């Protein structure tokens, strides 16, 4: 019975994981694998039932039936074991430390200031010391009292638009500038879909784009990574290597990572939380609010369609929107897109995401959301619908989507086959949105005006 039950147990387990029902339902290659597993289980069950009926006779038919039954059970169990090994083995295959990065977190910081933390992970439990403070001013020292693997040093008491430094243990100091306060221009970068660990992704393009974002002369105030940082979220070693690749750029620019479907795929949520979320927090912290001056960022857990959009998250979103002054800028971010151009690929229409549009866009329009930014679609596109500007920026290194058979009625500009990130400046009642490629070239630029009631 193990050969019959094992595939069913595995498929049931995978279907219960965070966001996996959307992926299984919409992504044809994974759906086929699930059908194969369940099909072999069904065939093994049929063979087992036939064998039980044939056991009354001890002739050739019974012998053949018994052999076929064992063959089907072996095939079923072997396929299940191989698939399970592919999924679960990488989860325990990580090693090595990760370098410090500067992460934004939701906090009770002064109005208009995001919480900031220096984040890193050590392979063995350690106690570390961080020295930090205003450049040219007083320095503070914090020592971990308990040795651990996960290290989050909160930098409390920071003031807006000021230069600070931090140093972990005896490492070289890192300088960074805090985002500005109310009334000052804000300049940030956003993009998604690095897919680190995928053979079809372009790490060289990713590094070139990150270099543009972290370039000191550019001076971005924040960087938002819109999900799918890694190809397979269950792979611990990929998470660690990704952190090592990102750290030279994200150690000095406030960064936040949204969950994408690949980040949490096949049970990868614990590893996403392990490396991207503060210790002691889970669940609700997959969505959060970041305030920079009078610009408010609402970061959602929307990874494909609506499975990860819970009742609690919906309530939180509406509650937050109701507290934002109408004259302030409201920017919503998620991994999955809303309006988009594209084509049917791998059995799913990669364009105008109907269920998400139906559920979320009326909320955006009702509460005066100004800009909605997302990835998931590996393109660069700007769209407008009913007063809301939609930015699709999913070209940080993952293989570009090449097909285009449908152009969204909301589309204003589209660029396929190019690696780029979204560059946004908020200045007074104007927002300038650009798409910048790995050479620092602007592919498109537009300015929108804040709509006030």
Burial status of residue 14 (CB atoms within 10 A of its CB: 0-12, 13-18, 19 or more): buried
Region at 346 (left for phi over 0; alpha for psi -120 to 50; beta for the rest): left
The structural domains of the chain, ordered by start, are: 2-92 (no CATH), 98-115+182-449 (3.60.21.10)
403-405-410 Cα angle (round to 5): 110
Query: How many other CB atoms are there within 10 angstroms of residue 183's CB atom?
Result: 10
List b or e across 21-51, with b for residues whose CB sees 16 or more CB atoms inside 10 angstroms.
bbbbbbbeebbebbeebeebbebbbebbebb
- Render pLDDT for 172-229 as a digit per residue (tens, 0 to 9): 999 999 999 877 899 999 999 999 999 999 999 999 999 999 988 888 999 999 999 9
Q: How confident is the model at residue 372 (pLDDT cuts 50, 70, 90)?
A: very high
Length of the chain: 453
pLDDT at 357: 98
Q: 6 and 76 in contact (C-beta within 8 Å)?
A: yes
Q: How confident is the model at residue 414 (pLDDT cuts 50, 70, 90)?
A: very high
pLDDT at 35: 81
List b or e across 305-331, with b for residues whose CB sees 16 or more CB atoms inside 10 angstroms.
bbbbbeeebbebbeebbeebeeebbbb
Measured between its terminal Cα atoms, the distance across the chain in Å is 66
Q: 322 versus 280: which is more confidently predicted?
A: 322
Region at 397 (left for phi over 0; alpha for psi -120 to 50; beta for the rest): left
- Render pLDDT for 423-438 as a digit per residue (tens, 0 to 9): 999 999 999 999 999 9
Helix axes 236-250, 203-214, angle to 10 degrees: 30
Q: How confident is the model at residue 2 (pLDDT cuts 50, 70, 90)?
A: low
What is the pTM for the complete model shown? Answer: 0.91
Mean pLDDT on 337-355: 94
pLDDT at 63: 52
Written as one string, the DSSP assignment of 228-283 is --BS-TT-HHHHHHHHHHHHHHHTSS-EEE---TTTSTTTTHHHHHHHHS-TT--G
pLDDT at 386: 95
Percent of the chain scored above 70 by pLDDT? Answer: 90
Number of alpha carbons in the 13 Å side-chain half-sphere of residue 77: 10
Q: 259 and 287 in contact (C-beta within 8 Å)?
A: no
Dig out the tokens for 437 from the structure. 């490629």
The DSSP symbol for 397 reads S
Mean pLDDT on 445-450: 95
Mean pLDDT on 387-397: 97
pLDDT at 127: 94
- Render pLDDT for 124-183 as a digit per residue (tens, 0 to 9): 999 999 999 999 888 999 999 999 999 999 998 888 999 999 999 989 999 999 999 877
Q: Is the pLDDT of residue 91 over 80?
A: no
Q: How far apart, in whole angstroms, are the C-alpha atoms of residue 260 and residue 394?
A: 11
Mean pLDDT on 240-252: 93
Show Cβ contacts of residue 201 under 8 Å, excluding neighbours closer than 6 positions: 194, 195, 231, 397, 398, 399
Q: Is the pLDDT of residue 89 over 80?
A: no
Q: 132 versus 278: which is more confidently predicted?
A: 132
Mean pLDDT on 110-115: 75
Q: How far apart, in whole angstroms, are the C-alpha atoms of residue 296 and residue 282?
A: 22
Q: How far apart, in whole angstroms, are the C-alpha atoms of residue 449 and residue 427?
A: 10
Q: How confident is the model at residue 108 (pLDDT cuts 50, 70, 90)?
A: low
Pairing mode, strands 163-168 and 174-177: antiparallel
Q: Which of 11-25, 378-392, 407-421 has the lowest mean pLDDT?
A: 11-25
């Amino acid at each position: 019975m193990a050969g019959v039950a094992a595939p069913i147990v595995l498929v049931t387990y995978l279907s219960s994981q965070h966001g996996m029902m959307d992926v299984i339902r919409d992504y044809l290659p994974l759906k086929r694998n699930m059908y194969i597993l369940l099909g072999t289980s069904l065939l093994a069950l049929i063979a087992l039932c036939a064998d039980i009926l044939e056991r009354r006779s001890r002739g050739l038919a019974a012998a053949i039936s018994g052999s076929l039954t064992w063959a089907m059970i072996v095939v079923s169990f072997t396929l299940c074991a191989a698939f399970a090994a592919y999924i679960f083995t990488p989860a325990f295959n990580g090693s090595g430390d990760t370098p410090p990065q500067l992460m934004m977190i939701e906090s009770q910081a002064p109005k208009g200031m995001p919480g900031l933390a220096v984040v890193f992970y050590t392979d063995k439990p350690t106690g570390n010391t961080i020295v930090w403070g205003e450049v040219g001013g007083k320095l503070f020292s914090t020592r971990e009292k308990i040795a651990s693997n996960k290290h989050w040093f909160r930098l409390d008491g920071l003031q807006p638009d000021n230069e600070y430094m931090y140093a972990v243990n005896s490492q070289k100091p890192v300088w960074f500038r805090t985002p500005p306060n109310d009334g000052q221009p804000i300049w940030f970068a956003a993009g998604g879909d690095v897919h680190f660990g995928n053979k079809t992704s372009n790490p060289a393009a990713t590094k070139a784009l990150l270099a543009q974002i972290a370039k000191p002369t550019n001076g971005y105030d924040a960087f938002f990574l819109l999900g799918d940082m890694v190809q397979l979220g269950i792979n611990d070693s990929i998470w660690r290597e990704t952190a090592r690749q990102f750290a030279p750029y994200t150690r000095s620019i406030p960064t936040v990572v949204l969950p994408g479907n690949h980040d949490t795929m096949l049970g990868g949520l614990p590893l996403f939380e392990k490396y991207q979320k503060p210790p002691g927090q889970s669940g609700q912290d997959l969505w959060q609010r970041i305030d920079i001056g009078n610009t408010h960022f609402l970061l959602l857990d929307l990874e494909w369609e609506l499975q990860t959009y819970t009742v609690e998250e919906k309530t939180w979103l509406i509650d937050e929107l109701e507290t934002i002054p109408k004259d302030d800028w409201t920017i919503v971010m998620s991994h999955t897109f809303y309006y988009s151009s594209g084509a049917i690929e791998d059995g799913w229409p990669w364009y105008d995401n109907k269920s998400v549009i139906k559920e979320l866009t009326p909320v955006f329009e009702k509460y005066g959301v100004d800009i909605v930014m997302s990835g998931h679609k590996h393109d660069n596109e700007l769209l407008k619908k009913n007063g809301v500007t939609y930015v699709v920026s999913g070209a940080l290194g993952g293989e570009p989507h090449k097909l285009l058979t449908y152009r969204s009625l909301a589309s204003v500009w589209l660029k396929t086959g190019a690696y780029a990130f979204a560059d946004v400046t908020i200045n007074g009642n104007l927002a300038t949105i650009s798409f910048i490629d790995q050479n620092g070239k602007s592919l498109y630029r537009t300015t929108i005006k804040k709509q006030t009631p």
